Structure 1
Amino acid sequence: MQSVIFKVLKHKKHTLLAHPIMSIKNTVFYRGKKEVLVDFSAQEISSDGALIYLEQLERKHGLLKRISSFIPDNRNPLYTIYDRYSQLKQRVFMLIQGYEDVNDVNHLKNDPLFKDVLQGDLASQPTISRFENCFDKASIFSLCYDFIDRYVESLEGRDEIIIDVDATDDPTHGKQQLTMFNGFYEQFMYNELFFHDGETGQIILPVLRPGNSHSNKWYAGILTRIVKRIRAMYPDLKITIRTDSGFSCPAFYKVADKYSLFFATGIASNNVLKEKVLRAEKAVRKLYLEQGKKYQHFIEYTYQAKSWDKPQKCYAKIESTGLGMNVRHFVSNIEGKEAREIYFDFYVKRGDRSENRIKEVKNMCFSDRLSNHSFTANFFRLMMSSISYEFMRLIKEEIKLVGDKTVQKWQVSSIRTYLLKVGATIKTTKRRVYYKLSKAFVYKDLFRNLIALK
C-alpha cells in the first residue's frame, strides 16, 4: 500500500489541509519475493550505437557529400540553419537505422548519438519534408547521371560486367502524381526500374516510372546512356545484359547490335513458340506419365518476331515438375556455351543477384514508402533508399574482409538488427568523444574489426 502524507500548514490559529502527496514506488511486479522496479535514472542511451560506423563509412567514401552537391538550394541563407548535406545525412542515416518515415524525427530529437553525428539538433519533420520536395526535373537528371558515373568509376581493373535489369511494383494509396492503375498488377502503383551490377550488387541506376508503365518503358534509352558512358571510359569492356521476358523488345536488340552487347533474356511464349516445342513437350510429358520421371530437356531454335530486325538464337527448357509442365523460352547470343549452361550457370542467377537485391531496397531500405505528392519528390525518395542500400552494400563488402561465412550471408535486415542497432552512450570532453557500446553486444568483435579498417 502507498502511504499518504498530509502536509499540515499552520497559519496563525488556523490549520489548513493541503493536497496529498503520494509516495511513488516503481514496482512493476514481484518475482517470487524479489521486487522488480523501473525508473528513468540511467544515462542517455541510444539504440543506434553504430551511427559512428556509418559516419566512418561516409568519411571514407564521401557518398553523401558528393550527392548533396546535386541537390538544388534556393533558400535565403539568412534563414538557413541546415545545409543540404546535413539534411541528406540525417534522412539517409535514419533510413539505414530503420526509421522509414519523416515523422520518425519526432522520436529521435533527443537522441544523443544522432545529435553528435549530425553536429547539432536534428532538422524537424517540416524541414525534412521541404527538403524532399526541393527537386526539379533537371536536378533529377543530374543525379541520375551521377549514379551512372559513380558506377563507371568503380569499374577500373575489370574485364567484363553483367548488368541485371528488373522492375518492381510499388502500390500507392494516395493521390501521388503519376500513380496510375496497372492492369497486370491490378492496382494503383508506381513502377520502379533498377539496373544492378550482376556481380557486386551495386545499383547502377534506380528509375521511378508512372504506374501504368510496361516493364520495358524507357529501358532501351536508359541502357543506351549507361553503355555510352561505360564505353567512353572502357571501350573494350565486355558487357552482358540479363533480364526477364518483360524486357525483350525490338529496341533492345538494336542497342545490343549497335554496342556489341551480349545478353540472355527471357521471351514470352506465343503460338509460334508453342509449335516449336510441341514435339519435345509431348516426349517429356510421356516420359513422366509412363515412368514417373521428372525430366528436363533443352532445345535450340531460330526465331524472329515480326517486330525484330533479324532472327535470334533462342532456347527452350521443357521440364516435367510433377505438378505439370514448365516451359521457359529465352534468347541469348552468348557464345561457346550450350543451352543448359546458359540457363543454369548464368541466367537463373539473376534471381539472387537482381530480384533479391531489389527486395532489399524495396522492403528493407523502404523504397516502397513513396508517399509524397510530387513525382520528383518520390523519385528522390527512391534515390535515398538506393543510397541507403549502397551503404549496406559497402558494409557487406567490409564484412567479407573481416567476418565469418555466416555473417557474410546477412541481408540488409540482419545487418541492421544484429550490427547497427546496439545500445550505446556518449561522453564528450574538451578533447575527446567517447562512444560506449553495450557490454552485452554479441558482435562486438566484428564491430571492432570493422571500425579498424582503413
Structure 2
Amino acid sequence: MSNQNTVFYQKSKAVFVDFHGDEMTSDGGVVLLEKIEKKFGYINEISKAYIDSRNQSLIHHKAVDLFKQRIFGLVLGYQDCNDVNYLKNDPVISSILNGSLASQPTLSRFEMSVDRKVIYSLCESFVSHYINSLRGRKKIILDFDGTDDKTHGHQQLALFNGYYGHHMYHQLFVHDGETGQIVLPVLRPGNSHSNRWFVAILKRLVKKIRSHYPEIEIVIRADAGFSCAPFYKLANECNLKYTIGIASNSILKAKAEKVQSAVRHIFEDGSEKHQHFFNFQYQAQTWEQEQNCIAKVEWTGKGLNTRFVISNMDEASVRDIYFGFYVKRGESSENRIKEVKNMCFADRLSNHFFWPNFFRLILSSMAYEIFRLIKKEISQTKHEWAKKWQVDTIRLCLLKIGGTIKSTVRRVYYSFSKAFPQQKLFLELLQ
C-alpha cells in the first residue's frame, strides 16, 4: 500500500481512515432531553429535595447539574458513573450540561452522599410530583407490584429470598394504572415478602392524596402477594375500591371443585380455550369481614387453570372485573417495570451500601419518567408508529443522532445528519 492510511480496497478505490474530522456526537438527542426538561422542569423539581451537605463555596457542579448528568446518561444508555470517560469529549453533551461534565469520582461521591433522610425527602418529592399531576381527575388507579433484582456482590441487605431462589434486592413500584407514571419506587431488603411496607406506604399515599383531593376515587390493583388482613381493614376505613389477587388454598379449591369438574367434563375432549367465572363470599380467619371472591376456571386445552381475586368493585359482571380491569395491570404495571428495570437500568444496584442503591433506583425511575414524558409528547403527534415505541426503541430511533456543534457569540448551532430517518418527528417534538 502506497499510503499508510489505506485500510482496504473496494474494487479500484482505496479506502482511507483518519481522525481529522470535526468534533461530533452520536447522542444528539440530548437536545430533546433538555427541551423536555425545560418544558416540564421535572429534574429541577425532584432535585430540590436533595439535601446537599457539601461546602457550597468549594463546589464546581450544583446538585441539579449532577442529577441532570446522571439521568441524561441513563436515558442515553450509559449505566454507570465511569461511563463519563466516554462522554467527556462529546461536544453536544458538554454544551447542554453547562460546558463541562462532572468526573466519575464526583458522581460516585454524589451517589454515596445520601442517607435515610435524603432518601425519604426524595420519596416525598416523588409523591408530591404525582399529586400535582392529578388536577381535574376524579378517579385514579394505583398498581402495586414487586420485582427481584438479583445481586452478585456483598451489597448491604442483599439477602436470600426463598420464593425467587437467589440473593437479591426486592423492589416495589407504585404506578398510576392509567398513565404509567411511577408514583413511588421503593427498595427493600432481599428477604422481604411482597407485601412488606405495602399497607404503611398505601396509608401515607391515601392520606396525602385525599388531603389535596378529598373526593377523588382511589382504586387499588395488585397480585396475590399483596392480599393481607391489614390491607382489607385499611380499604374499609378509607373507602377504597380494589381488585387484588389471592393465593389458592384448600377452602378456595373446595369452592371451585364442582365447577372444575364440570368444565373438565365438557371441554377435556376439545382443544378450544374456555373460561368460566363465578363468585362467592369468602372470609379468611384473620379478616374482619367477608369479601367478594371471584373465581376463574379456565380450560386451556392442556389442563385446568384456576385463579382467584378479591374485589369490591361494582362492575357489570365478574368477567368485566377480571378481564376488563384486573388483567390490565400486565400492561400498566408489569410492562412498565420491565422498562425501568431492563431499559433504565434499575437492576444496576451495585454500590455496597443500601441507601446509595436506593438512590440509584430513584435515578433510574427518574430516567423512566423522562421517557414517559417523551411518550406523552409523541402521543400528541400524528406519527402513529412512534406511539407504540418502548423505552429502548425511543433511545435507538430518536436519541441516537450523529451531529456537530458550532457556537458563536449569540447562537449555538446543532447540525445533525441529514440521513437521520426521524427528522420530522424530532423537529415536531422540539417545536
Shorter-chain TM range is over 0.9
Residue in structure 1 matched with residue 125 of structure 2 by the alignment = 146
Residue in structure 1 matched with residue 164 of structure 2 by the alignment = 185
- Rounded to whole Å, the distance in 2 between the matches of 1:148 and 1:423 is 37
Counterpart selection for 2:70 from 79, 91, 104: 91
Provide Cα deviations, 1:283-330, integer angstroms capped at 9, x if missing partner: 111112245543211111111111111110001100110121110100
- Rounded to whole Å, the distance in 1 between the matches of 2:129 and 2:275 is 42
SS of the aligned residue for 1:401 comes to: coil
**Are residue 61 (structure 1) and residue 3 (structure 2) matched?**
no
Summarize the Cα distance change of 1:74–1:269 in structure 2 as closer, same or farther, 3 Å threshold. Answer: same
**Are residue 264 (structure 1) and residue 218 (structure 2) matched?**
no
SS of the aligned residue for 2:379 comes to: helix
Residue in structure 1 matched with residue 325 of structure 2 by the alignment = 346
Matches within 5 A, 1:235-384: 235-384=214-363
SS of the aligned residue for 1:402 comes to: coil
**Are residue 194 (structure 1) and residue 173 (structure 2) matched?**
yes
Residue in structure 2 matched with residue 14 of structure 1 by the alignment = none
**Are residue 222 (structure 1) and residue 201 (structure 2) matched?**
yes
- Rounded to whole Å, the distance in 2 between the matches of 1:291 and 1:95 is 50
Summarize the Cα distance change of 1:291–1:44 in structure 2 as closer, same or farther, 3 Å threshold. Answer: closer
Summarize the Cα distance change of 1:321–1:375 in structure 2 as closer, same or farther, 3 Å threshold. Answer: same
Matches within 5 A, 1:365-444: 365-444=344-423
Amino acid aligned to 1:113: V
**Are residue 52 (structure 1) and residue 31 (structure 2) matched?**
yes
- Rounded to whole Å, the distance in 2 between the matches of 1:296 and 1:73 is 56
Q: How far has the Cα of 1:50 moved from its partner?
A: 1.2
CA contact (8 A) 2:50 2:121 kept: no
Provide Cα deviations, 1:222-257, integer angstroms capped at 9, x if missing partner: 011111111111111111111000010111111111
Amino acid aligned to 1:316: A
After TM superposition, the score normalised by the length of structure 2 is: 0.98
Provide Cα deviations, 1:179-214, integer angstroms capped at 9, x if missing partner: 100001111100000000000000000000000000
Tell me which moved more, 356-365 or 332-341.
332-341
SS of the aligned residue for 1:406 comes to: helix
CA contact (8 A) 1:424 1:437 kept: yes
After TM superposition, the score normalised by the length of structure 1 is: 0.93
- Rounded to whole Å, the distance in 2 between the matches of 1:126 and 1:159 is 47
Larger radius of gyration: 1
Amino acid aligned to 2:98: Q
CA contact (8 A) 1:177 1:374 kept: yes
- % identical aligned pairs: 54
Q: How far has the Cα of 1:274 moved from its partner?
A: 0.4
Residue in structure 2 matched with residue 19 of structure 1 by the alignment = none
Residue in structure 1 matched with residue 101 of structure 2 by the alignment = 122
- Rounded to whole Å, the distance in 1 between the matches of 2:273 and 2:160 is 40
CA contact (8 A) 1:166 1:354 kept: yes
Q: How far has the Cα of 1:383 moved from its partner?
A: 0.4
Residue in structure 2 matched with residue 35 of structure 1 by the alignment = 14
Q: How far has the Cα of 1:79 moved from its partner?
A: 2.6
Amino acid aligned to 2:201: I
- Rounded to whole Å, the distance in 1 between the matches of 2:271 and 2:200 is 48
Q: How far has the Cα of 1:31 moved from its partner?
A: 1.5
Residue in structure 1 matched with residue 145 of structure 2 by the alignment = 166
SS of the aligned residue for 2:380 comes to: helix
Q: How far has the Cα of 1:82 moved from its partner?
A: 1.1
- Rounded to whole Å, the distance in 1 between the matches of 2:242 and 2:400 is 41
CA contact (8 A) 2:268 2:301 kept: no
- Structure 2: runs of 5 or more not aligned: none
Tell me which moved more, 148-157 or 77-86.
77-86
Summarize the Cα distance change of 1:292–1:352 in structure 2 as closer, same or farther, 3 Å threshold. Answer: closer
Provide Cα deviations, 1:4-63, integer angstroms capped at 9, x if missing partner: xxxxxxxxxxxxxxxxxxxx5222211111212211121111011011111111111111
- Rounded to whole Å, the distance in 1 between the matches of 2:268 and 2:202 is 45
Amino acid aligned to 2:304: M
Amino acid aligned to 2:352: H
CA contact (8 A) 2:407 2:413 kept: yes
SS of the aligned residue for 1:157 comes to: coil
- Rounded to whole Å, the distance in 2 between the matches of 1:135 and 1:320 is 52
**Are residue 134 (structure 1) and residue 135 (structure 2) matched?**
no
SS of the aligned residue for 1:64 comes to: helix
CA contact (8 A) 1:315 1:330 kept: yes
Counterpart selection for 2:187 from 186, 190, 208: 208
- Rounded to whole Å, the distance in 2 between the matches of 1:377 and 1:290 is 57
Provide runs of 4+ in structure 1 moved above 4 Å. none
Summarize the Cα distance change of 1:323–1:262 in structure 2 as closer, same or farther, 3 Å threshold. Answer: same
Matches within 5 A, 1:11-30: 25-30=4-9
Tell me which moved more, 375-384 or 289-298.
289-298
CA contact (8 A) 1:287 1:293 kept: no
Which gives a bigger RCO, structure 1 or 2 (Cα 8 Å, sep 6+)?
2
- Structure 1: runs of 5 or more not aligned: 3-23
Amino acid aligned to 1:118: L
